[in-house]
Amino acid sequence: MAGFIRFWGPVVVYMGLIFWSSSRGRPDVLSATPDYLLHGTEYAGLAVVSVRAIAKRLFSSLSAAHVAGGIAIAILYGISDEWHQLYVPGRDASLVDVLADLVGATLGGTLLAAVSAVNGTEGETR
């Protein structure tokens, strides 16, 4: 059970933070940042923690299935988050936001795959 919490706990916490922030208005401090950058960064991070949970490691020995699974989790959560925002006063759902989530998740997963390839196949569980 401790291993499950160690790897999947950050995914659940990260998703909870996304849900919480989607339930509120956009903070003024972020008003100058383009929405697509916020979405891309947010979902790149979700892809990273999701890949880590699936592979039970982060920077070595990642398979294409690990990376694809992490990206898929992030994209599906992005879609569900846009659906959630349909019911939040002052928020709206957008296919452009889903596209930004998809691009960010893909970039996050691809970056991990590249780092894993550079590190080779030998590594320790992190």
Q: Per-residue pLDDT tens for 13-72?
A: 999 999 999 998 766 666 778 888 999 999 999 999 999 999 988 777 889 999 999 999
Mean pLDDT for the stretch of residues 7-12: 95
Total count of domains within the chain: 1
Helix ranges (DSSP H) in 1-126 = 2-22, 35-55, 64-85, 95-119
Q: Does the residue 15 lie in any domain?
A: yes
Q: Does the residue 27 lie in any domain?
A: no
- E strand or H helix at 12: helix 2-22
Q: What is the pLDDT of residue 74?
A: 98
Q: Does the residue 77 lie in any domain?
A: yes
pLDDT grade for 123, boundaries at 50, 70 and 90: very low
Quick: pLDDT tens for 65-108: 999 999 999 999 999 999 999 999 888 889 999 999 999 999 99
Q: Does the residue 58 lie in any domain?
A: yes
Q: Does the residue 108 lie in any domain?
A: yes
Q: Does the residue 124 lie in any domain?
A: no
Q: What is the pLDDT of residue 118?
A: 87
Domain of 41, in residue numbers: 2-19+34-119
Q: pLDDT at residue 126 above 60?
A: no
> Which is more confidently placed, 76 or 121?
76
Q: Does the residue 25 lie in any domain?
A: no
Reported residue count of the chain is 126
Under 8 Å CB-to-CB from 3, ≥6 apart: which residues? 56
> Which is more confidently placed, 16 or 117?
16
Q: Does the residue 13 lie in any domain?
A: yes
